[in-house]
Each structure stands twice: as C-alpha cells, then as structure tokens.
Amino acid sequence: MRELKYVQIGERLREERQRVGMSQVDFAESIAASRNGLVQWERGETTPNAAMLGVMASMGVDVLYIATGARTGESASTLAPAERELLQAWRHGSDKGRALLTAAVNVLMPE
C-alpha cells in the first residue's frame, strides 16, 4: 500500500512539473535537486521532503495536489508562470488588450 501511494505522488509530481512547463533538468535545477532525485520522486521510489515541497509551491506547483490528489483552489500562488503573466496582462491591460486576450481565448478553446 505504501509503495502505491509513492507511485501516485510521483505521477502527480510529474503532472505538475509538466503543467508549469518545465523539463526534468530545468525543474531539478530550479529546486536545487539532482535530476536523479527528481526521477526517483516521479517514479514513486522516494518522495520529496517538506522543504522541497515548499520550494515547489513558490514556483506555482500545487503541492496539496501532489500530496493528496485534491486540487488547491486556483489562485495566483498555484498558477504556472505563463498563467500568472496572462492574468496580470488581463488585470492591468487596457480595454483593447482585454479584447485581444478574449479573442485569443475564443480561438484556443475547443468547441
């Protein structure tokens, strides 16, 4: 049972790393971990400690999701950097800028 939990944690960690748009190498460097350590986490062989999860959280990773499988409500702290930039562009943009973002969303969203 314990091993199964680690595998699920690893899968969710991989999913979150990909959601924030980072390769294993870039992600490992960003959190000051080895790529080998990250691979072990993603395979479910070991799990990251609380300090590492804290660093991941500061990068927009949803650590509650990694640990429990339950998503944190979306907020600026759980958005990937690119998502945060879009949100800031919306919040601080002109009416014309918001209209362009809305048009882009309409093109990107599947029907």
Q: Is the pLDDT of residue 1 over 60?
A: no
Per-residue tokens: 88:
């800031």
- What are the structural domains, with CATH classification, of the chain? 2-73 (1.10.260.40), 80-111 (no CATH)
Per the CB < 8 A criterion, the answer to whether 61 and 4 are in contact is no
**Nearest Cα to Cα of residue 20 among 76, 66, 51, 62:** 62
In tens, the pLDDT along 17-43 reads 999 999 999 999 999 999 999 999 999
Is 9 within 8 Å of 16 (Cβ atoms)?
no
What sign has the CA pseudo-torsion 59, 64, 68, 74? negative
Q: What pLDDT digit, counting tens, does each position of 41-64 carry?
A: 999 999 999 999 999 998 889 999
Say what the pLDDT of residue 4 is. 57
- Name the burial class of residue 66, with classes exposed (0-12), middle (13-18) and buried (19+) by CB atoms within 10 angstroms of its CB: buried
- Cβ 66 vs Cβ 38: under 8 Å: no
> pLDDT (tens digit, 9 = 90+) per residue, 67-107?
988 887 766 666 777 888 888 888 888 989 889 888 888 89
